[in-house]
Amino acid sequence: MTATRYVREGTLAVLEIDNPPVNALSGLVISGLIEGFDKFERDEDAAALVLRCRGRTFVAGGDIAMFDDPAFSPAPFNDLLNRISASPRRVVAELFGTVLGGGLELALACHFRIACENTRFALPEIRLGLIPGSHGTQRLPRLVGLAEAGRMISTGEMIDTGRALEIGLIDLIADSADAVAIATLSPRPVAAQAEGAPEVLRNLADAAQLRIHEPAYQAIAETLAAAAQLPFEKAAEVEADWFRRLLPSAPARAQRYLFFAERRSAEVPGLSRGAATRAVERVGVLGAGMMGVGIALSFALAGLPVTLSEVEQSRIDAALERIEGTLAGMVRRGRLSEHAAQACRNRISGAVGIKALSQADLVIEAVFEDMAIKLDVARELGRTCKPGAIIATNTSTLDVDVIAAATGRPQDVVGTHFFSPAHVMRLLEVVRGRETAADVLSTVLGIARRIGKTVAVSGVCYGFIGNRMAEVYMRESEAMQLEGASPERIDGVIEDPAWLGMAMGPSRMLDMAGVDVGARTVIEWIASGEGPQEPAYRALCRRMFETGSHGQKAGYGYYRYEGRKALSNPAHAALAAELAELHGVVHRNDLTEREIFERLLYPMVNEAAHILAEGIAARGSDIDVVWTAGYGFPRWRGGPLFMADEIGLPEIVARLDHYAARDGDPHGYWQVSPLLRSLAAQGGRISSWTGKGERE
């Protein structure tokens, strides 16, 4: 088996890589490149060497699975890069597609880089908690300067061909490298040491200080400083040393785990990869409120025509105006070209009434979260949508099976739970109903990929995967508030990267989403008889709902707001004290940071174990995808379950037992899931648990 080929084309030698689907740098590709380069060195009458890839892209990175192999070392590849760069004859990289990571480092070692239009470039290693380990931290800054290199390496963001030419990353925009073109290229001076303003290095060092729990940022600061101060060989040793240390570090392992988790989460057990799908060419969105607008934008930005339907024209006008505002903002911030914004605008049309959706292949309803209204709408959609059209509901809490039954065609119905703002948030929680047809599920998973979403599939239950776990998190946050801890203290612990590093603590999050939205759900859940019947249960948010303390938009919630700034809210402290008194909750002076952390995280892990045991989620890793892509759980922690495994399941079970014993557990909140207990006893990991009990 080979993944490379060495051929002559007239005076040129061509070394071609063929490793579908993305020409990733595997061991085989690397050894093939070394052999091919040996041939070129012996092939003395070849004027120059062209590095080329077959298929749809130049090398789009390293084979990430290799990084978990303890025997892995970048040294053989790096030696090859040094030989290429030192070659007296010209070596040219012919670039197209997405030139990422090790692929870009390979191109950087060449003397020239020729790229066709629409090529994109990035060093995304930081997203895996790593730095480029094949001289990227050295060759890039020497070529384009410290500022540009610092930006690319510390954000991992892609740049396009135009930008690459501007900063000097590539030499020429052309479809292919011919002998004449190569002969006319004049070598770009490569600085012996990287140049740039001293504040670039200071800023990188400051950024590293702010993220001391993610050592890759420290590595970036130090390797770029080395690029500016040391000769190449010495500086490359600094890079090699950091890379070696980062590979087995916890943040890097966590992000590698997530990388694979996000690919796996789109595969549903029992649903084959090439399963039949239904064609989706037109999308309909019913209800142009906050979510409907974002959902319509997600599809239109991805190139799909969308019809937005509402109950009256004024609401459509208002929605189109909001869409206009969002697109204009994206153009202003350089996120979208004016041309693309115009194309997106043209794809969205508004119409009054459900009839306007009769030709859509996929209709997503995002009307009010009210079962009576949802059922009316479902009945009408069932009659109006063309045969075979998929009917999706964006409900965040209601029973998808009940809604599906009302359409009269439950096989066509699926839940698509978007997160707000829908065109920004990466997560799409796909809810598989009891009768959802396999091709409906496959189609929705395919569409999700098309609109750039990360998916996780959930079964039907209260809150699905994400909000069901958020419920126990909110429960403990409010319970501790009644015991006397302030929202800022609780949020502060969980936002502190030394404990966890959530983007937003529970109170800040609910204030932003709207206390009314969250409270209404809790009130209905309790009223249905399914939720806890304890009077103190989330008494805080229920009272805040009644009194209009609806969070940021109201100016008051768990916090008091001046603009977007959250300040301590004395009225809230008084309310917590009043409710504590009313419900006989004992004030605790001894609430430690450790207790706050444990009472927020460990019940979520326990709830996740119930979710797995019930088959609501198929794998532990799917749950981590939900929390990292949808709830601001830090990626470098891997997710709540990966973090639980790192802490150790026996410790978590022991602490859950401790709180149950200490507080008596009258409502069974601390009862440990049998699955969690048995995993802890057997030394298993919950993040790698699958329904079949296998480890993936």
Cβ 621 vs Cβ 696: under 8 Å: yes
CA neighbor of 75 nearest in space, from 32, 26, 129, 134: 134
Tokens of 131: 């730095």
**What residues contact residue 166 under an 8 Å CB cut-off, 6+ apart?**
none
- Which stretch in 15-23, 308-316, 383-391, 539-547 sits in contact with ligand NAI by CB under 6 A? 308-316
Angle, helices 136-144 vs 232-246, to 10°: value is 130
Task: State the Cα torsion 672-686-522-669 to the nearest 10°.
Answer: 10
Residue 288 within binding range of ligand NAI, rule CB under 6 A: yes
Cβ 277 vs Cβ 444: under 8 Å: no
Residue 291 within binding range of ligand NAI, rule CB under 6 A: yes
- Which stretch in 118-126, 239-247, 392-400, 555-563 sits in contact with ligand NAI by CB under 6 A? 392-400
Residue 368 within binding range of ligand NAI, rule CB under 6 A: yes
Task: Give the residue with the Cβ less far from ligand NAI, 211 or 520.
Answer: 520
435 in helix, strand or coil? coil
Cβ 424 vs Cβ 412: under 8 Å: no
Residue 289 within binding range of ligand NAI, rule CB under 6 A: yes
Residue 453 within binding range of ligand NAI, rule CB under 6 A: no
Residue 287 within binding range of ligand NAI, rule CB under 6 A: yes
Residue 467 within binding range of ligand NAI, rule CB under 6 A: no
The residue whose two tokens read 């049309």 is 349
Residue of the chain from 102, 133, 292, 684 that contacts ligand NAI (CB under 6 A) = 292
Residue 366 within binding range of ligand NAI, rule CB under 6 A: yes
Question: From CA 211, how far away is CA 498, in angstroms rounded?
Answer: 10
Q: In Å, how far are 113, 232, 507, 599 from 592, measured between CA atoms?
A: 57, 50, 18, 11
* Least distance between ligand NAI and beta carbon 51 (Å): 47
Cβ 352 vs Cβ 311: under 8 Å: yes
CA neighbor of 556 nearest in space, from 529, 575, 536, 582: 575
* Least distance between ligand NAI and beta carbon 352 (Å): 9
Point out the catalytic residue in the list 105, 380, 471, 476. Answer: 105
Task: Give the residue with the Cβ less far from ligand NAI, 161 or 507.
Answer: 507
Cα 543 from chain centroid?
A: 34
* Least distance between ligand NAI and beta carbon 290 (Å): 4
CA neighbor of 376 nearest in space, from 365, 390, 386, 387: 365
State which H helix or E strand residue 112 sits in.
strand 112-115
Residue 78 within binding range of ligand NAI, rule CB under 6 A: no
DSSP state of 341: H
Residue 310 within binding range of ligand NAI, rule CB under 6 A: yes
Task: Give the residue with the Cβ less far from ligand NAI, 133 or 630.
Answer: 630
* Least distance between ligand NAI and beta carbon 514 (Å): 7
Residue 185 within binding range of ligand NAI, rule CB under 6 A: no
CA neighbor of 636 nearest in space, from 243, 242, 214: 214
Residue of the chain from 190, 517, 536, 591 that contacts ligand NAI (CB under 6 A) = 517
Residue 643 corresponds to which amino acid?
M
| 365 catalytic per annotation | no
Task: Give the residue with the Cβ less far from ligand NAI, 370 or 593.
Answer: 370
Task: Give the residue with the Cβ less far from ligand NAI, 365 or 488.
Answer: 365
Task: Give the residue with the Cβ less far from ligand NAI, 39 or 322.
Answer: 322
Residue 200's CB is within 10 A of a number of other CB atoms, namely 22
Question: From CA 670, how far away is CA 667, in angstroms rounded?
Answer: 8
Residue 161 within binding range of ligand NAI, rule CB under 6 A: no
Residue 352 within binding range of ligand NAI, rule CB under 6 A: no
Residue 373 within binding range of ligand NAI, rule CB under 6 A: yes
Task: Supply φ then ψ for residue 390, to 5 degrees.
Answer: -90, 135
Residue of the chain from 31, 420, 671, 678 that contacts ligand NAI (CB under 6 A) = 420
- Count of residues near ligand NAI by CB under 6 A: 26
Task: Give the residue with the Cβ less far from ligand NAI, 504 or 517.
Answer: 517
- Which stretch in 165-173, 249-257, 281-289, 610-618 sits in contact with ligand NAI by CB under 6 A? 281-289
Looking from the CA of 13 toward its CB, the CA atoms found within 13 Å total: 21
Tokens of 118: 């629409």
* Least distance between ligand NAI and beta carbon 425 (Å): 9
**What residues contact residue 529 under an 8 Å CB cut-off, 6+ apart?**
none
- Which residue sits closest to ligand NAI, CB atoms considered? 289
Residue 428 within binding range of ligand NAI, rule CB under 6 A: no
690 in helix, strand or coil? strand
Point out the catalytic residue in the list 125, 222, 365, 595. Answer: 125
Task: Give the residue with the Cβ less far from ligand NAI, 374 or 599.
Answer: 374
* Least distance between ligand NAI and beta carbon 370 (Å): 8
Residue 140 within binding range of ligand NAI, rule CB under 6 A: no
Residue of the chain from 173, 179, 230, 513 that contacts ligand NAI (CB under 6 A) = 513
Task: Give the residue with the Cβ less far from ligand NAI, 66 or 311.
Answer: 311
Task: State the Cα torsion 333-509-416-323 to the nearest 10°.
Answer: -30
The residue whose two tokens read 């809210």 is 569
- Which stretch in 185-193, 366-374, 554-562, 661-669 sits in contact with ligand NAI by CB under 6 A? 366-374
Residue of the chain from 100, 286, 474, 493 that contacts ligand NAI (CB under 6 A) = 286
Return the bridge partners of 458, or none: 431
* Least distance between ligand NAI and beta carbon 597 (Å): 26
**What residues contact residue 83 under an 8 Å CB cut-off, 6+ apart?**
37
| 581 catalytic per annotation | no
Angle, helices 649-663 vs 640-647, to 10°: value is 90
Residue of the chain from 4, 119, 138, 394 that contacts ligand NAI (CB under 6 A) = 394
Residue of the chain from 174, 179, 191, 311 that contacts ligand NAI (CB under 6 A) = 311
- Which stretch in 13-21, 43-51, 309-317, 602-610 sits in contact with ligand NAI by CB under 6 A? 309-317
Residue 396 within binding range of ligand NAI, rule CB under 6 A: yes
Radius of gyration of the chain (CA): 28
Indicate if the alpha-carbon torsion angle 36, 68, 494, 394 is positive or negative: positive
* Least distance between ligand NAI and beta carbon 377 (Å): 5
Residue of the chain from 57, 307, 326, 395 that contacts ligand NAI (CB under 6 A) = 395
70, burial (CB in 10 Å: exposed 0-12, middle 13-18, buried 19+): exposed
What does the binding site for ligand NAI look like in residue numbers (CB under 6 A)? 286-292, 309-311, 315, 366-369, 373, 377, 394-396, 417-420, 513, 517
Q: Which residues are catalytic?
A: 105, 125
